[in-house]
Amino acid sequence: MSEDRWNTVLVLGGIRSGKSGFAESLVAGAPSVRYVATAAGGEDDPEWRDRIEAHQRRRPQSWTTEETGTEPALLVELLQQAGPDETVLVDDLGGWVAAVLNPARQPNDDEADVAALAAAVRATAARVVLVSPEVGLSLVPVTPVGRAFADALGTTNQALAGAVDGVALVVAGQPTWLKGGPLAPVEAAPVKPAPVTSRPIAVPTPSTPAPPPPPVTVVEPTPEPEPERATVSALSGSTMTLPLVASGLTEITPGMDLPLPSSDSGPDARERLAGLDLPGGGLGALDEAVEFAAATQSTVTPRAWTTARLVVIGGGRTGGAVAGTDAGDVERRLAETESGTGLLGRLAGQAGADISVLRTATVGAMEDGPVADEQAVKDALRQGWQLADGAADAGRDVIVLAGVSAGIEAAATAVLAATTGAEPVATLPRVLAPGARFDDAAWMVRCAAVRDAMHRIRQEPRGATDILREIGGLDIAVATGLLLGAAARRVPVLVDGPLGIAAGLVARDLASQTRHWCLLPEAGTLALVKQGADVLGLTAVLQIGLDLGEGANALSVLPVLRSAIGLASALPVHPALLGEVGDDGLDDGLDDELDDDLDDGAGEFDPAEFAEPEPRGPGPATTGV
């Protein structure tokens, strides 16, 4: 059994319950997945083909598709032959049972087929997730064929439930583990540490008590393991927690093919908002957050984020980039965050987020030469990717990116100028000293440093790693790796400051899909952030002029975003519109079609009537993470 307590899982759920999406999330971290489609027939049905194509669009291109069609034995053979380094997703067993009951195979020992499948699942060395319809909660079908299908499927589900390590039931998009399950369920609340009494936290007003310090993990940079040893460990490691090198990808390079959020769920969710049962005009600007959550969760009724992780990246620089910076003050704020106190600690506690802190090494002056060497940049990219892996493996459903780095404003300005041609003088933030005083002399020194750096690299390559090595630094490299890893694991990231914007611009040149997993919760006051977000195509959800610092802006508005997303999924459609759409805001035509199928007589057997749509998609893809 793998480190997270399962190698085989059965995912049950009704029609449109979200079972397929949940099953796909269980294997989202695998470097490649063998997707087994079991449905047969339906080629002449346009609606059936459309549903198949919808399944195909949400799967990474690194997955391969195999079909069992009308031959149930093919699934047994596939599971028997699958190796320990493979991940298999079978979606779904309704199509397999329909093939077992096919009159063309009768007379046949159907129970022996079910027993053979259960034995293959129990003995397989691969990581396997099986999806199956749960039909036992509905009315008894009125047709003989329908009753035979329901009975056979129930028998199959019982047999497989006894053979697998874990069983999950998905209802309305919400999974519940009936047997086994991962060590860190998605809904698990972060553990609160013991109260600290030796250092009470001063609060602005007695009526607003400070929350308990959130859990904090201080990540120590580790040297890159030898590729040979990493590959060996990957063969026996958990599929969902494989390190980056275990996928066979030895370095992060431009052109990586990462997953994209759903292109349909977001617009459909926004359209659904117009029909909600609200006395007013709706959610206003918060529609953007609902659409983003729907797209990244592949559902028109997204779940409000409940398990956030604040990732704080610390770093330092030398030269003109840090003019006017109090190094002691930067260190104090970083130390407070590591102890769960200070501004970020307080806001994280209020938001129920845990904290992961990573310090990077101090880099050189950008005006004098490259700020870091190539190997250090590669290691930092990997470290960021592993931070995203850690958040996903811990069940976190959203990442908030924050930076506590000396000179990050100048470095981000240089990155914006190098990647977009923006004028540094127009985007470099002013230097703010304690007491709300501006240090314009320090700003001019920083501006000169950026100008000299841009002159120095005017004839140098402008690739992603080149930018990080020449002017970006290790903190931006770690943040870039985090965005890449989060996209690979389908975890949304909230960015709101120079570090996140600079990382987004660099990550865009490595994998263009990353920007679609980023949300700008609040526009803030910095021209650097607004212009960079515009280049990335990020529309700020709110524009209330917060200037609390990177990460703090996003944490401050996170409760508002959660409320909007929760309302969007919980509120029903206005009663006056129920004649046009169902309670879920979707067309009732499909439900009527299913009801009509149950009312039909026992006509000619068609397996497509009893199985959910299964992609019959493209062959093996050669790209991806």
Which residues are designated catalytic? 55
**Which residue carries 């404003």 as its tokens?**
409
First to last CA, the chain: 24
Distance between CA atoms of 345 and 192, rounded to whole angstroms? Answer: 13
Give strand pairing partners of 67.
37
Look up residue 31 and give its two tokens: 């470097």
- How far CA 416 is from CA of 242, 401, 455, 472, 505, in Å, comes to 33, 18, 15, 10, 7
Q: How far is CA 305 from CA 258, 516, 549, 560, in A?
A: 22, 17, 22, 11
SS3 label, residue 49: helix
What amino acid occupies position 379?
D
Residue 399: beta bridge partners? 309, 493
Within 8 A by CB and 6+ apart from 389, the residues are 29, 241, 243, 244, 485, 489
Task: Please give the Cα distance from 76 to 71 (Å, whole number).
Answer: 10
Task: Indicate the Cα dihedral angle 431, 434, 439, 442, nearest 10°.
Answer: -60
Can you point out the beta strands (E) in 250-387?
308-315, 354-359
Q: Which residue, among 603, 613, 597, has the nearest Cα to 103 in the 3D structure?
A: 603
Q: Alpha-carbon distance 494 to 507, whole Å?
A: 15
Judge contact between 489 and 387, C-beta under 8 A: no
d(CA 177, CA 171): 11
**What secondary structure letter does DSSP report for 581?**
S
- Tokens 């806001």 belong to which residue? 347
Is 125 within 8 Å of 239 (Cβ atoms)? no
Rounded-to-5 percentages of helix, strand, coil across the chain: 45, 10, 40
Residues 6+ apart with CB under 8 A from 466: 460
- Within 10 angstroms of residue 498's Cβ, the number of other Cβ atoms is 28
Question: Which residue is listed with tokens 């240089």?
Answer: 414
Task: Report residue 490 as tokens.
Answer: 């389908």
